[in-house]
Amino acid sequence: MKKFIRFFKPVTAIVLLGMFVFASCENEDDKAPVEEMKSIVEIASSDNNFSILVAALTKANLVSALQGDGPFTVFAPTNEAFADLLADLGVSSLDDLSAEALAPILLYHVVSGKVLSTDLTNGYVNTLSPGPGQTAVSLQVNADEVILNGGSEVTSADLLASNGIIHVIDKVLLPPTVVNLAINNPQFSILVEAVVKAELAETLSGVGPFTVFAPTNAAFEELFTTLGVSGIEDLTKEQLTPILLYHVVSGNVLSTDLSSGNVATLNGDIAVSVGASVTLNGSSNVVLTDVQGTNGVVHVIDEVLLPSGK
């Protein structure tokens, strides 16, 4: 199966999830001589609205990296966005956060390449924030509304720099766990409801890593029809738990690591068939791969898997 390195594309042509992708290219309007432009760091340093961002970059020892050739695309949170984050974290200032805590957050706002606002399309893109192993944590972009991870809005776009481009955002982005990836996407709302009811959210927010085969809302609706129920409210925690655990594999298993054969989940084996496409148990199709979180990876499927005897 194709490995998605810089950005993810749906395996099928169906616009299934309202998930979003970047396509990076040059723009004819971008003609100002490079030597006349400021770098990304210089632009941020000259604007008082980014003073906390610059202080955070300095504390995390990332200034020199973002002064490099790049090009980089930076989603830059304003001071107000950082103030909201500090309040949410229950801290008074950046002094309460370590460089080790800040670095992955800041790198989550950086994408390799120069991506203009006119180049944004629906999907997921790799950031520079590190995931398990040598992976990069995914960022979701809604190009129609210009919103990141379902909640951070691009308020000003296309600030050109000598080594890339800046888009201003109104909320600091936090690298997501596999649970957060589902929460951020409305097409996983039933899955999230099921995980919460089964009291598995805390477990799946742990260190992991986990590989999650995530059914869409449409997949769950088909399951409800098959079971003759109206929704998650008609299923108990005891019924949901073995089903959900059957969608979780230990480890960070990327699409390139998949091969035909049985794979052990947290509740029995699933049969994986790898060919022109990937199917599970003979009928559930993997429709999107390698959506990377901080504690694991998500592959999207179009049918809920049921353990033997369920």
| Local confidence band at 35 (pLDDT 50, 70, 90 cut-offs) | low
Q: What is the pLDDT of residues 214-239, one digit of tens each?
A: 999 999 999 999 999 999 999 999 99
Residue 310 lies in a domain: no
Residue 107 pLDDT exceeds 90: yes
| Judgement on whether residues 28 and 122 belong to the same structural domain of the protein | yes
Cα–Cα dist 170/172, whole Å? 7
Cross-strand pairs, 153: 147
Residue 308 lies in a domain: no
Whole-number percent of the chain with pLDDT over 70: 88
The confidence score (pLDDT) of residue 37 equals: 87
Q: Are 11 and 276 in contact (CB under 8 A)?
A: no
| Judgement on whether residues 135 and 94 belong to the same structural domain of the protein | yes
Query: Which tokens go with 107?
Result: 């790198």
Phi and psi at residue 269, in whole multiples of 5°?
A: -90, 145
Cα–Cα dist 295/292, whole Å? 8
Give the chain's domain count.
2
The confidence score (pLDDT) of residue 125 equals: 95
| Judgement on whether residues 271 and 187 belong to the same structural domain of the protein | yes
For the chain, the average pLDDT equals: 89
The confidence score (pLDDT) of residue 308 equals: 82
Q: What is the pLDDT of residues 150-198, one digit of tens each?
A: 999 999 999 999 999 999 999 999 999 999 999 999 999 999 999 999 9
Residue 6 pLDDT exceeds 50: no
| Judgement on whether residues 267 and 285 belong to the same structural domain of the protein | yes
Asked which of 110, 142, 169 is the last residue of a domain, the reply is 169
Residue 149 lies in a domain: yes
| Local confidence band at 10 (pLDDT 50, 70, 90 cut-offs) | very low
Residue 306: CB atoms within 10 A of its CB come to 15
DSSP 177: -
Q: What is the mean pLDDT of residues 297-301?
A: 98
| Judgement on whether residues 111 and 207 belong to the same structural domain of the protein | no
Residue 297 pLDDT exceeds 70: yes
Q: What is the pLDDT of residues 245-255, one digit of tens each?
A: 999 999 999 99
| Judgement on whether residues 152 and 210 belong to the same structural domain of the protein | no
Residue 199 pLDDT exceeds 80: yes
Asked which of 124, 148, 169 is the last residue of a domain, the reply is 169
Residue 23 pLDDT exceeds 70: no
Q: Which residue range is the domain that position 110 belongs to? A: 20-169
Q: How far is CA 89 from CA 96, 97, 151, in A?
A: 10, 10, 17
Q: What is the mean pLDDT of residues 102-115?
A: 97
Query: Tell me, what CATH number does 190's domain have?
Result: 2.30.180.10
Cα–Cα dist 206/209, whole Å? 8
Q: List the 110-112 sheet strands across, edge first.
A: 20-22, 120-130, 136-142, 147-148, 152-161, 164-169, 72-77, 110-112
Q: Are 99 and 163 in contact (CB under 8 A)?
A: no
Asked which of 143, 169, 195 is the last residue of a domain, the reply is 169
The confidence score (pLDDT) of residue 310 equals: 52
